[in-house]
Amino acid sequence: MTGKKRIMVVDNEEGLCRMMEAVLSDNGYAVTAHTRSFEAAESFQAGQWDLLVTDIKMPGMDGLELLQKVKQKDPALPVIMVTAYATVEMSIQALRKGAYDMLTKPFEPEELLYRVKNALQHTRLMEENRELREELVGRFNFGNIIGASTALKEVLERVEKLAVRDTSVLITGESGTGKELIAQAIHYNSPRKEKKFVAINCGALPASLLESELFGYRKGAFTGAAENRRGLLETADGGTLFLDEVGNLPMTVQKTLLRFLQEQEFNRLGDPTPTKVDVRVLSATNSDMKQAVKAGDFREDLYYRLNVVNIHLPPLRERKDDIALLAAHFISLQNSKFGTQIKGLDREALEAAAEFPWPGNIRQLRNVMEACLAMENNDYITFPVLSQFIEVAPLETGGEAPAEEGEYAKALMRFETEYLRGLLRKNQGNVEAAAKEAGTNMATIYRKIKKYGIRKEEYNL
């Protein structure tokens, strides 16, 4: 609802009922008052009210019965109970049945306004939290991870199965392949999604600082420890801790982490009393963990504790069919952010992007798209602009093999040309269908069409 907050007031004392109505109306609320509880219950409709203020002691249907009926229709509605006899037992009973607050007669108008303001603010915060949770779940819904390649689909099938289980998962893959995004998808589609997702880059901090960040410390544990401090494990209690670049964990931290994974408890620095928490641990690395174990740089027992299940993310060069989708996604994000209207990459730029190996993977592609949008003056990102940010060779054109090439190259060119013409005729000029049948991607087909100078009239018969 928008506009004024709507409040229903119910009290069989007509004078008090009118007083509350007047005070609330004078302060900008839209108020409807009832002196009969049955009428109030009959007229109440879910979604029409922001707050109910009702007396407890009323003839016929008392306030507790009214509270129950209202909560059946609108469980989230805050209710303030008014009474002249606020015993502890009555307060507990009202709160158990869903009341938000108790207001004892007699009360000043200022107290009524204060309680009403608090109740409405509480509701607003609850609604904002709900919307934020929905946004997070939506953001990390599997359908919102960009890509349609077989390699990505296989990854997401594993993620979907693992999300609902409390298994430790090691996510491997080159830098920039989206390991943290997969970890977030696991968390926000798991039973722990209402709790925190806490991430730390294990390679970004020195050993001494990393240990205190993870496990916390007790006041006086070391110079500068002026107060007790919770670590990230405690912060993530009930939720998920993501250890990025876990291969960089120093041995001292590995030992404490192993104990936690075995016992679900650890000791803060300088604290002899163990701390127990409930945390799921996900980890990621772009290094060869088996080699690190062989070299003695990583504990074998910890490796197997973290690597109960492995998810390997393929590099972008193995997901060529996803490059166009990802580029379009990043362009759309930049258009929304800066109010630009770039429509995408032109054909030559798209072909070059599909053939580029992207050593920095998705992160590099995103950065390149951002840079291109900053430089491009046309409706589409063009090859000359793209070539400023990645090393690409100009695409080959023309239908003749270079003179210095031998008979084999000429024969190969003739074969490819005839094969492509036949493939395109068979699929009625549908490049996507032709690429699928050939077991390649659309960009390759377009590049070959251009390379061999194949014209539309040669296959659109």
Q: What is the pLDDT of residue 216?
A: 86
- Mean pLDDT calculated for residue range 244-253: 92
Residues 334, 373: Cα–Cα separation, whole Å: 8
- 3-class DSSP state of 274: coil
Instruction: Indicate whether 3 pLDDT > 80.
Output: no
Sign of the four-CA dihedral 253, 259, 262, 267: negative
pLDDT confidence of residue 101: 85
* Percent of the chain with pLDDT strictly greater than 70: 89
| Rounded mean pLDDT, 433-448 | 76
Above 60 in pLDDT, residue 399?
no
Which helix (H) or strand (E) segment is 443 a member of? helix 442-451
Lowest mean pLDDT among 163-167, 278-282, 439-443: 439-443
**Closest residue by Cα to residue 86 from 99, 76, 70:** 99
- When the pLDDT of each residue in the chain is averaged and rounded to a whole number, the result is 85
* Residue 126, CA distances (Å) to 29, 138, 342 in order: 20, 18, 39
pLDDT over threshold 70, residue 403 = no
pLDDT above 70 (res 114): yes
Q: pLDDT tens digits, residue range 124-147?
A: 766 765 655 555 455 555 656 788
Q: Is 27 left (phi over 0), alpha (psi -120 to 50) or beta?
A: alpha
Confidence of residue 421 (pLDDT cuts 50, 70, 90): confident
The neighbour count for residue 191, using CB atoms within 10 Å, is 11
pLDDT score recorded for residue 292: 94
Sign of CA dihedral 116, 122, 123, 128: positive
What is the distance between the alpha carbons of residues 118 and 328, in angstroms, rounded to a whole number?
46
Q: Which band of pLDDT confidence, cut at 50, 70 and 90, is reported for residue 398?
A: very low
Amino acid identity at 224? G
Q: What is the mean pLDDT of residues 431-447?
A: 75
Q: Are 331 and 344 in contact (CB under 8 A)?
A: yes
Residue 444 has pLDDT above 80, yes or no: no
Q: What is the pLDDT of residues 59-84, one digit of tens each?
A: 888 899 999 999 888 888 999 999 88
> Which residue ranges form the domains of the chain, and what is each CATH number?
6-130 (3.40.50.2300), 142-312 (3.40.50.300), 317-386 (1.10.8.60), 407-458 (1.10.10)
Cα 72 to Cα 419: distance, rounded to the nearest angstrom:
69
User: Residue 105: what pLDDT?
Assistant: 83
Residue 192 has pLDDT above 90, yes or no: yes
Average pLDDT (395-412) is 56
pLDDT at position 132: 53
Give me the pLDDT at residue 400, please: 47
Does pLDDT of 98 surpass 90?
A: no
pLDDT band at 451 (very low <50, low <70, confident <90, very high): confident
CA-based nearest residue to 143, from 160, 131, 129? 160
Q: Which tokens sit at 363? A: 């992160």
What was the pLDDT predicted at 299?
Answer: 96
Give yes or no for residue 406 having a pLDDT over 70.
no
142 contacts 256 by C-beta, under 8 angstroms: no
Q: Is the pLDDT of residue 115 over 70?
A: yes
Provide the whole-model pTM: 0.59
Nearest in space to 285 (alpha carbons), one of 173, 443, 160: 173
Instruction: Give percent of the chain with pLDDT exceeding 90.
Output: 44
Highest-pLDDT range among 220-224, 322-326, 432-436: 322-326
Helices 320-338 & 442-451, crossing angle to 10 degrees? 100
3-state secondary structure of 7: strand
Cα torsion angle, 415, 421, 422, 424, sign: positive
Mean pLDDT for 424-440 is 81
pLDDT at 135: 52
The band of 33, judged by pLDDT with boundaries at 50, 70 and 90, is very high
pLDDT value at position 35? 92
H/E stretch holding 30: strand 30-34
pLDDT tens, position by position, 207-248: 778 888 898 887 876 766 677 788 899 999 999 999 999 999
Q: Which of 6, 14, 18, 9 is closest to 81 using CA atoms?
A: 9
Are the C-beta atoms of 434 and 441 separated by less than 8 Å?
no
Distance between CA atoms of 65 and 40, rounded to whole angstroms?
A: 12
Question: What average pLDDT does the segment 239-265 reach?
Answer: 93
Structure confidence by residue, pLDDT tens digits, 337-391:
888 899 899 888 888 898 899 999 999 999 999 999 999 888 899 988 998 899 8
